[in-house]
Amino acid sequence: MAKCEICEKTLSHGNKISIARSHVSRRATRTFKPNVRSVKAIVDGQVKRISVCSKCLRSGKVNRA
């Protein structure tokens, strides 16, 4: 399962909406997956491979090795 080890971001669920004419005609459930990357990072003074979302990488919450 896709999960960020820094911010604990996981799957979220919502609706996929098909629009016909001028109103919503059908709804189907869908899954939104986080953009998770496997990176080498320094954790507790050691280099480990962890799964991190792209938002945590951009914001600088992870010290890459």
| pLDDT band for position 22 (cuts 50, 70, 90) | low
What is the residue range of 20's domain?
12-59
Is residue 50 in some structural domain?
yes
Is residue 28 in some structural domain?
yes
pTM for this entry: 0.75
Is residue 39 in some structural domain?
yes
Checking if the pLDDT of 14 tops 90, the result is yes
- Token digits for 18? 């098909």
Checking if the pLDDT of 28 tops 90, the result is no
Is residue 2 in some structural domain?
no
Distances (CA, A) of 3 to 18, 41, 47: 29, 16, 19
Is residue 49 in some structural domain?
yes
Number of domains the chain is built from: 1
Distance CA 42, CA 54 (A): 17
Is residue 43 in some structural domain?
yes
